């Protein structure tokens, strides 16, 4: 993120990535896919040697244990699978949730796993017995995320409302040293005596045995709700993260806002209560009341408080926290417009300051690519999307320049590669200077969008077409422009003639010998005309959907057409027959 350069590219399956998780030693990366598979990549070699297939639907969450030897995966199929990374096999499958698994976490102090789901429950699993021994209730809607403080004394859950619920967690000091339950003692006694010595009073009913087992399960961990804090966001929680030192909590929803909460340790909580007590005594003295013993009860606001929020450039998808220096935290946010933004949080000791450090956005387009064209020397290429046009170096794959344009649909380099012509959604032809990236001239060409532009074979002009059923011919001209240069002239376009067809035009192309011009139309045909007289020559039919692009061979004998019907057809220009 310091240089905004691509460091490593991991080539995976031809499937959508739904979840990623880094190992504790930062040497491996677990990647979950929409088809339910999981691949483990090495960040050193950029290769994947391990693939797990145990889910039927998309992976929704991943978690490594403290040692990095186990991996837990949750899926849309409501099941959790624990994998052994050393033996490269599955250990066991945990069933119990009734909704999509939204988050999971390995407990560091015990061999336990915590999972949350859209069924409104948070479940605790004993991995020694592979069963759920505790279910946390109290959420009115789906539990989307949760996190534990580093000391694992507090668990914070976020659901579909604005409330963050805080739970107190207390583990039994020594699970093995607990007093043996009555069931175990009774079974030992029954093994030592004969059936004649057993009376009806000595037999334990199934209900009593179940109650004793439930009591044992409750003695593994104590989890009690101690309070809640409110967020500013009104929609559901998407991600909850706590910094490694346990001092900062951050969360976000489906909007652009990131919220920050300060978590205080025991010393800071005692100091805050002491200040409250001092203010209460001062208020009592100012009001002239008798000095009485004042008791300040500890509340959840003394432990966690809202310290600010920051609005990102787009809606958030996920985030993570880093701490480059003490009292300074960086929040790395992945936005839904395919950008990565870093937000800096400075000085938690006083009033925190939030600022956007860097934004990784220049590596590509944010929306679908509409068109592409190469320079005359083939060393660079230009791509367009709905928000801009980008010039790329072919050898280094780096973006050289971004041209601001409103909804460009097509592009073409002017001979000499010093200017570029962009056809827009509004029906204009925009002439941009490549060196400076500035807009030189805007010419209103068509009533609708400009869907295509093509260069004359003699490179003295261009043609443009659009949904207004017209093909317009333009010639290059040199004009004086003081804003461009005082001593030299720049290129401009002059309209010479217009050719009107029967249907909307999708693409046009000249034959290299300058004899024919081909136009693909909305009626699923490609019509060919003479360039000089514009008389009809051939009509090519065969696509089930309108052909979106055409190209002609260098010897002017073949024409190729492509269509959304997933077919590419090769035609002969002599008789219009389909060769392939």
Alpha helices, H only, 83-221: 182-192, 206-218
Please say if the pLDDT value at position 358 is more than 80: no
Least confident interval from 57-66, 79-88, 487-496: 487-496
Query: What is the mean pLDDT of the segment spanning 240-259?
Result: 91
Q: 16-101+114-125: what fold?
A: Thrombin, subunit H (2.40.10)
CA distance linking residue 87 with residue 80, whole number of Å? 19
pLDDT of residue 174: 52
Query: What is the mean pLDDT of the segment spanning 329-346?
Result: 85
Query: What is the mean pLDDT of the segment spanning 87-113?
Result: 93
- Considering only residues 356 and 451, tell me which one the structure prediction assigns the higher pLDDT: 451
**Strands, E assignment, 405-469:** 408-413, 419-424, 428-433, 439-444, 452-455, 461-465
| pLDDT per position as a tens digit, 184-229 | 333 333 233 333 443 434 433 444 444 444 554 556 888 899 999 9
pLDDT of residue 2: 67
pTM of the model: 0.65
- Class of the CATH-defined domain 371-572: mainly beta
CA distance linking residue 548 with residue 320, whole number of Å? 43
The proportion of the chain whose per-residue pLDDT surpasses 70, expressed as a percent, equals 89
CA distance linking residue 469 with residue 522, whole number of Å? 10
CB atoms within 10 A of CB 337: 13
pLDDT of residue 202: 41
CA distance linking residue 555 with residue 516, whole number of Å? 12
pLDDT of residue 338: 76
Please say if the pLDDT value at position 287 is more than 70: yes
CB-facing half-sphere around the CA of 131: CA atoms within 13 A: 6
Nearest to 166 by CA among 239, 235, 224: 224
Least confident interval from 6-20, 67-81, 84-98: 6-20
CA distance linking residue 187 with residue 323, whole number of Å? 54
Query: What is the mean pLDDT of the segment spanning 294-322?
Result: 87
pLDDT of residue 208: 42
Nearest to 247 by CA among 151, 114, 312: 151
Query: What is the mean pLDDT of the segment spanning 354-369?
Result: 74
Least confident interval from 140-149, 273-282, 409-418, 538-547: 273-282
Please say if the pLDDT value at position 25 is more than 70: yes
If pLDDT is split at 50, 70 and 90, which confidence band does 561 have?
very high
Please answer whether residues 111 and 127 qualify as being in contact, where contact means their C-beta atoms are separated by less than 8 angstroms.
Answer: yes
Averaged pLDDT of the chain = 85
Domain coordinates in residue numbering, the chain: 16-101+114-125, 371-572
Same CATH fold assignment for domains 16-101+114-125 and 371-572: no
Please say if the pLDDT value at position 272 is more than 50: yes
Q: What angle do CA 53, 59, 64 make, to 5 degrees?
A: 85
pLDDT of residue 218: 58
């Amino acid at each position: 993120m310091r240089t905004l350069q691509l460091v490593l590219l991991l080539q995976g399956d031809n499937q959508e990535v739904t979840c990623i998780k880094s190992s504790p030693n930062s040497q491996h990366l677990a990647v979950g896919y929409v088809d339910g598979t999981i691949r483990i990549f090495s960040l050193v070699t950029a290769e994947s040697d391990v693939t797990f297939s145990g889910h039927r639907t998309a992976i929704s969450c991943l978690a490594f244990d403290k040692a990095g030897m186990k991996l837990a995966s949750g899926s849309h199929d409501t099941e959790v699978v624990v994998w052994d990374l050393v033996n490269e096999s599955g250990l066991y499958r945990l069933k119990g949730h009734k909704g999509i698994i939204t988050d999971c976490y390995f407990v560091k102090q015990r061999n336990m796993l915590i999972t949350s789901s859209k069924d409104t429950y948070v479940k605790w699993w004993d991995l020694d017995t592979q069963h759920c021994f505790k279910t946390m209730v109290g959420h009115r809607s789906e539990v989307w995320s949760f996190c534990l403080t580093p000391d694992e004394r507090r668990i914070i859950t976020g659901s579909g409302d604005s409330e963050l619920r805080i739970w107190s967690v207390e583990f039994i000091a020594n699970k093995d040293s607990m007093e043996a339950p009555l069931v175990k003692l009774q079974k030992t006694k029954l093994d030592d005596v004969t059936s004649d010595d057993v009376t009806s009073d000595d037999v334990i009913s199934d209900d009593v045995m179940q109650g004793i087992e439930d009591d044992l399960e409750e003695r593994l961990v104590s989890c009690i709700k101690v309070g809640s804090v409110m967020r500013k966001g009104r929609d559901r929680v998407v991600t909850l993260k706590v910094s490694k030192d346990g001092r900062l909590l951050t969360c976000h929803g489906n909007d652009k806002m990131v919220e920050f909460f300060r978590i205080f340790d025991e010393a800071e909580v005692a100091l805050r209560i002491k200040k409250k007590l001092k203010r209460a005594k001062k208020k009592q003295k100012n009001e002239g009341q008798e000095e009485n013993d004042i008791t300040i009860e500890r509340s959840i606001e003394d432990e966690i408080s809202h310290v600010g929020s920051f609005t990102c450039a787009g809606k958030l998808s996920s985030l993570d926290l880093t701490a480059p220096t003490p009292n300074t935290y960086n929040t790395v946010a992945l936005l839904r417009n395919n950008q990565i933004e870093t937000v800096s949080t400075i000085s938690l000791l006083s009033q925190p300051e939030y600022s956007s450090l860097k934004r990784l956005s220049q590596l590509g387009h944010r929306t679908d690519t509409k068109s592409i064209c190469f320079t005359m020397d083939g060393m660079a290429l230009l791509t367009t999307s709905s928000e801009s046009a980008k010039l790329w170096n072919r050898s280094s794959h780096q973006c050289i320049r971004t041209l601001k344009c409103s909804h460009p649909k097509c592009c073409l380099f002017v001979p000499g590669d010093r200017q570029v012509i962009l056809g827009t959604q509004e029906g204009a032809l925009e002439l941009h200077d490549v060196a400076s990236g500035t807009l030189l001239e805007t010419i209103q060409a068509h009533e609708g969008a400009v869907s295509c532009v093509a260069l004359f074979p003699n490179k003295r002009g261009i043609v443009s077409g659009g949904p207004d059923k017209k093909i317009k011919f333009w010639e290059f001209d040199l004009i004086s422009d003081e804003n461009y240069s005082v001593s030299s002239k720049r290129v401009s376009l002059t309209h010479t003639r217009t050719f009107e067809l029967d249907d909307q035009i999708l693409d046009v192309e000249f034959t290299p010998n300058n004899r024919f011009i081909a136009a693909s139309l909305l009626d699923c045909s490609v019509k060919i005309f003479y360039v000089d007289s514009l008389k009809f020559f051939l009509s090519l039919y065969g696509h089930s959907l309108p052909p979106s692009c055409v190209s002609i061979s260098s010897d002017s004998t073949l024409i190729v057409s492509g269509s959304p019907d997933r077919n590419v057809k090769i035609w002969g220009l002599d008789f219009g027959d389909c060769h392939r």
